[in-house]
Amino acid sequence: MSSSANLCVRYIIGSHGDGGSGYPKMLHLLVDSTQTKGNRDSTRVAGQDYLRLALSAWPKKACAKEATSIRNAIINSLKDPNVDVRAFARLTYWSFHVHWEEEATSMLRQLSTAETQRLFNAKPTSELKIENNNSNRMTTHSLKSGQRLKFDSVSMSTST
C-alpha cells in the first residue's frame, strides 16, 4: 500500500474519534483485512493496525455491532504465522480491552500460556490518558519504555 493511501485510511479512521460516531460500517472491512485466507502479510498487518486505531478513536457504541467479529479477528491474528501480524494483534487486543474488559479477559482462556505471556509483555506500561467522551471516564493507553509518541493531525502512533 502506498504511503499516501495509508495516510488517507488513517485520516478517515481518525477523523471522527473526538466525540463523533466513527464509521461502524467500515469495521467489517477492517476485520476482513485481518483474515489469513486471501490476504498478504502486509495487508493483515495494516488491517490490525487500522483496527487498533478504530478501537482507540471510536466510541464503544460505534464498534459494538462488530464486537464478536473483532474478538475473533484478534484471536486468529494472535495465532497468525507472521510475527508482525501477531505483534499488531497484541496491541489491538489492548485497545479492545478498553471497550470490552470482560470479553477481553475471556479471550485469554483461548490462548496458550506462552501466547498469554507475550500478550502481557506487549501491554503498554507508561500511562497516557485519553478521555472517552461516551462513558465520561478516563481510559489509559500506555507505552513501553523507550517508545515515543508521535503526534500528527491524523493519528497517534509510537516509535522506538
pLDDT tens profile 118-160: 999 998 774 444 434 444 333 344 444 444 433 333 434 444 4
Which residues 6+ apart lie within 8 Å of 117 measured at CB? none
Query: What angle is formed at CA 137 by the lines to CA 77 and CA 73, rounded to 5 degrees?
Result: 10
Predicted pLDDT of residue 23: 77
SS (H, E, C) the chain: CCHHHHHHHHHHHHCCCCCCCCCHHHHHHHHHCCCCCCCCHHHHHHHHHHHHHHHHHCCHHHHHHHHHHHHHHHHHHHCCCCHHHHHHHHHHHHHHHHHCHHHHHHHHHHCCHHHHHHHHHCCCCEEEEEEECCCCEEEEEEECCCCEEEECCCCEEEEC
Residues 70-112 have pLDDT tens digits of 999 999 999 999 999 999 999 999 999 999 999 999 999 889 9
pLDDT over 70, % of the chain: 74
- The pLDDT of residue 17 is above 80: no
Predicted pLDDT of residue 157: 44
Question: CATH for 3-123, among 3.30.110.40, 3.30.1540.20, 1.25.10.10, 1.10.1040.10?
Answer: 1.25.10.10
Residue 23: left if φ>0, alpha if ψ -120 to 50, beta else—which one?
Answer: beta
Mean pLDDT of the chain: 78
- The pLDDT of residue 49 is above 70: yes
- Residue matched to cell numbers 490490525: 48
CB 33 within 8 A of CB 43: yes
Residues comprising the chain, all counted: 160
Residues 53-74 have pLDDT tens digits of 999 888 888 888 899 999 999 9
Predicted pLDDT of residue 1: 65
Whole-structure pTM over 0.85, yes or no?
no
